[in-house]
Every structure is written in C-alpha cells, then in structure tokens.
Structure 1
Amino acid sequence: MTKDTDFRPSMSLALAQKKAKMLHDIRQFFIKKDVLEITTPVLSHYGNTDVFIESISANFHHGGQLKTGYLHTSPEFAMKRVLADYGVPIFQICQVFRDNERSLRHNIEFTMLEWYRPNFCLSDLADELGELLSTVLGNSITVKSYSYKQVFLDTLGVHPFTADISTLRHTAQIHGINLDMGDDRQGWLDLLFSHFIEPNLGFDTPILITDYPPKTAALAKICHDDEGLPVAQRFELYINGLEIANAYDELADSQALLERFKADNAKRYALQLPIMPIDMNLVHACDHLPSCSGIALGIDRLFMVREQLSNIGEAITITTDNA
C-alpha cells in the first residue's frame, strides 16, 4: 500500500513557479529574435538509430491496423523536415523520452529546448547560446571553448586521436578503472571522458567542448582540425560537470545520412539491440536543408544549475518513478 504522501509532486511550488518564469523568458528570448516556435509529433513511425540511446516503443491503431511507433528522443528529425520546407529559424520546447535513464541527473521523460538557425555557423550558435544563458542565469555569461583533443592532453596526457587502445586501457587502469572495453576505441575514450574529464567541466564558467571524434558525429558534418585530423563539427555545453546542450553544424547530405543510419543499425545488430526503422522522410528532406546549425538543450538540467539542485527530481513536477 502506498503512503498518502506519495501523490505529492517531486518539485515544490516555489520551484515550479521559478521554472515557469524561466520557460517564459526562453520563449520571449526567441520571439524577440523572430525565431518561430513550432510543435511536432511526439509519436513517430521511426526511432532513433543511435546505439547509445534507447527509444520507447508504443502500440497504436491506425486505419484499423495495429502499429508500433516510438516516442521521440528529440524533436530533431521532425524539426529538420520542417526546416527543409520553411527555411526560417525555428525552436521548440517539448517533452522527450529516453528509455532506461534513471539517476540523480536523468529521468526517462524530460523537457528539451531545440532550435535551428539557417546560415549560422557553430560559432554564431555558440554566441547565441551565451546570450540565452545570460538571460536565463541572470548575469553576463562568458562561454569558453576547449577542444576535445586539448582537454584529453591537459587532463590525462593522452592524444585522443592518435593513442592506441593499449595506451587508453593503461590510462584507465592507472586511474583505477578496470572495465574492459575490448577493441572499442571510442568506448575507451568515452569511458575516460565520462570518468575523468566531464565531472570537472564548467565550474568556473560554462565550457564548450568542440571538435569531437568523427565516430561521435551523429548528424554533424565532418571537417579537419589544425593537425589535419578529421573531427565532427559539433560542441557540447558543460556547466558544473553537467552536460547541458549538444550542437551540430548540420549534415545536409542524404546519402551520407542514410549510410550513418545503416551503420548504426549494423552496430545495433552486433550488440543484439533492436533494429530501428530508418526515417526516410528525414533522409529525403536532408538534401533540402539550408546551411544551418542546430542545438538541443536540457531544460531541467539548466534549471538544476540555476537553482543549485543536486537531484533532477526537484526540477521535474512528477518523475517517471511516480508518474
């Protein structure tokens, strides 16, 4: 039997009022910049192929037939279809869903802000992100950039693009980690980053980590850094050791996009994960995308930072555990 207090929201009234004001301020920020607010479906026929993101499936009836759909992990796919047709700046604030995510920093359902800017490069988007953070956090914010390569060199003395697996394994071991990522080179890098780099990022000022390995490109373009090494044109924002946002210089090549989706599903098959239906609507729209950059930002985590909260449950009205 549940206790009579179990009905209570996990967020206090005072925090709910502050979060409502924050959402209002975010909307006003984009309205003043003539960025169009849109809504797109939460339920789709297609899921996210990303190996490290688990979609939630949902059964529904359409035309009298039973269908399996997926709750979106981000509004990215649908928003890019809209952008390819409208060609104007757009933003959306919505609920998104990622299965099997539960911790002090994770909830299966959470609130995401996503926006796309035609004719913006990543540095333009970083500048706008700094403006938004200044608006939300209530003071002038300076955002600093730090390349993925340099943060590895400075923190661990390892070059992430040239170090072999044995070096990465040894680095993990001498720092007390005995997990075995086998021959998954990016897996070793992810392990080292999550344990030794990420927890220390963004305490003095918000930090953008840039120029990620190509295997982490997702839907970002690939370019070359100052050493001539291929890197993904993306950045992630960290504040107080929390990943807050993820941005891409958006890929606008349907064939390359389709190949990435197929490669994802091949990895899924090898790992005995569900094969995800590929969103061909997005693939077809991709060739019509204007040159643009886009970014997804976790509203609940940003609110945690602003209010100095240690548990995401305090930033969400009712968590999945008690929904």
Structure 2
Amino acid sequence: MVTTEGWRPAASRSTLAMRAEMLAALRVFFAARNVQEQQTPILAPTTVTDSNIDSICVGDRFLQTSPEYHMKRLLAAYSTDSFQVSKAFRGSETGTRHLPEFTLVEWYRIGFDWEQLATEVCELINYLAAGYRVLEQPNFITYRQAFLNAIVCDP
C-alpha cells in the first residue's frame, strides 16, 4: 500500500473496511455458484507474452501481470469452475488511480458462452454494489451490428 505521509497508509480506515466487505461478498457470490477459489503463483519463471504489458522482473523470476496463465493450466487439467482474487504487477503503469501493484479477480466458467459470462459479470457488479448502483441486463449485439451502429461500416 502506498504511503503519503511517512508511515501512514494512503487508504482510510473506511476504505479498508469497504474493501474487506467487498472481498468477503465476492467470495460469497462465487461460493453460492459452486465456483472454487484458487491460489496460483505470483512469482514465476515465465510471464505473459503481451507486448503491451511491462512485466516486473525479480532476479530470475517475474511478478505475474495476472493469474491467467496459471488459472488456465488449472482449467485445462481439472475442468473446474474457478476464481482467484490475486495481486497483479505491471511496470510502467503508475498514475493517480493506477499503481504497479493492484488486486484483481479472474474467473473461468466451464460451458459458459460469452452471453452467460457477460450476464454473470453484471450480476457480480450488482451484487457487490448493492445499495449503490444497479446495472441493467446487458444488451447483446453482434460484432457486425456494433460496427454498423458506430461507424456505418459492414465488416
């Protein structure tokens, strides 16, 4: 956690409490759907091959930019609905709302198509934001229709 005044944390006590509540709710959300929580390495001998993401090297290892690689290995080996709340690290990405170290959630669902997954994303956001804001059911359109709507071009 970044500090602004010597030893004092940058996050307020209320922010930390809200974060803890959100993480607990996230786990309840996935447990109710029989999605198993995983823990994968955050320090590994390899990293992503995405040229747009700067990995952080520590000795002969890399801090992981996301749990994707290790989660997909679990998925391939065990075909289990899985999620992970993980630290992720990306170099050259510092700003007022972005730090090189951050927390993310990544999950995989067996047999879900993109519409089911998009619906679940909205359900998760609504569950976590209960009492704050509610997202409407997503309006699904095709790739072709998106192009026609946005730039009147038929791909």
Give the TM-score category using the shorter length.
Answer: 0.7 to 0.9
Question: In 2 relative to 1, CA 53–149 (structure 1 residues): closer, same or farther, beyond 3 Å?
Answer: farther
Deviation, structure 1 residue 104? 2.2
Name the CA distance, whole Å, in 2 between partners of 1:146 and 1:73. 31
- Is 1:73–2:74 an aligned residue pair? no
Name the CA distance, whole Å, in 1 between partners of 2:101 and 2:85. 13
- Is 1:141–2:135 an aligned residue pair? yes
Q: Is the 8 A contact 1:90 1:116 kept in 2?
A: yes
Name the CA distance, whole Å, in 2 between partners of 1:8 and 1:148. 48
Question: In 2 relative to 1, CA 158–10 (structure 1 residues): closer, same or farther, beyond 3 Å?
Answer: farther
Aligned-pair identity (%): 37
Q: Deviations over 1:70-125 (max 9, x none)?
A: 11001000011111111110000010000010112321000010000010111010
Name the CA distance, whole Å, in 2 between partners of 1:21 and 1:106. 21
Question: In 2 relative to 1, CA 154–104 (structure 1 residues): closer, same or farther, beyond 3 Å?
Answer: farther
Cα RMSD for the two superposed structures? 2.2
- Is 1:110–2:72 an aligned residue pair? no
Unaligned runs of 5+ in 2: none
Higher relative CO (Cα under 8 Å, sequence separation at least 6) belongs to 1
Amino acid in structure 1 at the alignment position of 2:135 = I
Unaligned runs of 5+ in 1: 60-67, 160-226, 230-323
Aligned to 2:14: 14
Aligned to 1:44: 44
Q: Is the 8 A contact 2:45 2:62 kept in 1?
A: yes
* Aligned positions of 1:167-186 closer than 5 A: none
Aligned to 1:26: 26
Q: What is the count of residue pairs matched by the alignment?
A: 149
Q: Is the 8 A contact 1:48 1:54 kept in 2?
A: no
TM-score (norm 2): 0.86
Aligned to 2:92: 100
Q: Deviations over 1:202-245 (max 9, x none)?
A: xxxxxxxxxxxxxxxxxxxxxxxxx5x5xxxxxxxxxxxxxxxx
Name the CA distance, whole Å, in 2 between partners of 1:149 and 1:6. 53
Question: Considering only CA atoms, is the larger Rg found in Structure 1 or Structure 2?
Answer: 1
Secondary structure (helix, strand or coil) at the match of 1:131 reads helix
